[in-house]
Structure 1
Amino acid sequence: MEHNVNTLDRSASSAIEVNKVLKNTYMLLGLTLAFSAFVAYLAAVMQLPHPGIIITLVGFYGLLFAIHKTQNSGAGIALVFLLTGFMGYTLGPIIGFVSANAPQVLMTALGGTGLTFFGLSAYVLITRKDMSFLAGTLMAGFWVLIVGMIANLIFNIPALSLAISGAFILFSSMIIMYQTSAIIHGGERNYVMATVTLFVSIYNIFVSLLSILMSFSGDD
């Protein structure tokens, strides 16, 4: 009898922890998305130049490393806003160009990104499916994307660029399902890292959709 009571207590405690991580993750995600969108808007209105690929990569991975080291402190949360604000800044010039030349494409990309995220998250949350089996596929997909991006830098083939954008959408969609599943099944207990993972996935889906739509619209 005592064993059953202890088991129930552990289950209740686990459920409370899961709900807490979910709540904090989506709250922080919502705030960072709003902050990133605001920074992107300012960068577009002020017509700020894109920082370039080198600064973008150094800034992104440098901040990502710093967040990983401070994920259990208030500094980690501050760095998350710094990272998402920086990523919003990198989007500013792109959004400014697209909104001026093809505003319908921008709205379609935003809508498609939102529907993709909410649809995938809702699916995992409702079905409670364990998506841990995606780990191997995600690792393989990561290296395929790396090779594809290097090849695209060398050969600059439009069809390859489109294929990479499509692969990024698929890869990021699986990341969203995997991360959401990790939270509800106890594999992720740090909402700071969960937020960063989901934000980067949403960012990649949006940029990739924008790239594909611009290519087909003839405004690329």
Structure 2
Amino acid sequence: MAYNDSHIARHDSRGAVNDVRANKVLRNTYALLAMTLLFSALTAGAAMMMGVQQMNILIFFVGAYGLMFLVHKTANSAMGLLATFAFTGFMGFTLGPILSAYLSLPNGPAIIMNALAMTGLTFLGLSAVALMTKKDFGFLSNFLFAGAIVLILAMVAGLIFQIPALMLMVSAGFVLFSSAMILFQTSEIVHRAGETNYILATVTLYVSIYNLFISLLSLLGIMSND
């Protein structure tokens, strides 16, 4: 009996420690995420004010993946924060030309506002599901891995063949993929003791929100014939 009581006590203690750790990582993640989203909005506005009309796709991929690599290499140091803001600032800057293009359309402002609202509500809703239900969404890992491969191949095919129906499917696929990633990453923070780096968690959620917004923007534009 004494052994069982001691074992239960240690188990409860570890559970309490994990809860404290998860809450701390969540607070840091959401705080940094809010700051990076605001910084991205500022850099997007700067790109629009500068009149940037188009982002070279090679520059985009080199900048995005290069800075993401830098974030992962420096995530355990103070440089990780600077790398995170550099990455999210660059991603925000790439939004400038896209937003400018939409604003030139008759329904552009409404499309942008609707995409923003839907992105925000989706993120808040999915985060609430993961946090309030305490359900472990770790089972999504295999789905996300397979989905990422399929989406990358479909995106490349869409860029090569310029098939509207395929691009529509890619956008819808990214909406589902990004939503699943938000659930998965939030669940990892809550349930996985190894997910303690709030910088990496922030970048993962940021990329999911970015892809979700771009995909919704595309879908709403197609639905409104723009």
Query: What is the TM-score when the length of structure 1 is the normalising length?
Result: 0.96
Q: Deviations over 1:197-219 (max 9, x none)?
A: 00000000100111111122222
- Judge which range, 31-40 or 181-190, deviates more: 181-190
1:135 counterpart = 2:141:
yes
Is the CA contact (8 Å cut-off) linking 2:188 and 2:195 kept in structure 1?
yes
1:56 counterpart = 2:63:
no
Relative to structure 1, the CA distance from residue 156 to residue 100 in structure 2 (aligned partners, 3 Å threshold; closer, same or farther) is closer
1:215 counterpart = 2:222:
yes
1:96 CA drift (Å): 1.7
Q: Which runs of 5+ in 2 are unaligned?
A: none
1:26 counterpart = 2:30:
yes
Letter in 2 for 1:21: V
Letter in 2 for 1:11: G
Aligned-residue RMSD, C-alpha:
1.2
- Judge which range, 2-11 or 188-197, deviates more: 2-11
Letter in 2 for 1:126: M
Is the CA contact (8 Å cut-off) linking 2:53 and 2:100 kept in structure 1?
no
Q: What is the CA–CA distance in structure 2 between the aligned matches of 1:50 and 1:72, rounded to whole Å?
A: 35
Q: What is the CA–CA distance in structure 1 between the aligned matches of 2:188 and 2:15, rounded to whole Å?
A: 16
Q: Which runs of 5+ in 1 are unaligned?
A: none
- Judge which range, 1-10 or 91-100, deviates more: 1-10
- Judge which range, 48-57 or 170-179, deviates more: 48-57
Aligned ranges 1:82-97 → 2 under 5 Å: 82-97=86-101
- Number of aligned residue pairs: 219
Query: What is the TM-score when the length of structure 2 is the normalising length?
Result: 0.93
Q: Deviations over 1:51-84 (max 9, x none)?
A: 3110100111111111111111110111000000
SS at match of 1:108: helix
Query: What residue is the counterpart of 1:12 in the other structure?
Result: 16
Is the CA contact (8 Å cut-off) linking 1:131 and 1:181 kept in structure 2?
yes
Letter in 2 for 1:40: A
Is the CA contact (8 Å cut-off) linking 2:119 and 2:213 kept in structure 1?
yes
Identity of aligned residues (%): 52
Q: What is the CA–CA distance in structure 2 between the aligned matches of 1:99 and 1:192, rounded to whole Å?
A: 33
Q: Runs ≥4 in structure 1, deviation > 3 angstroms?
A: 1-5
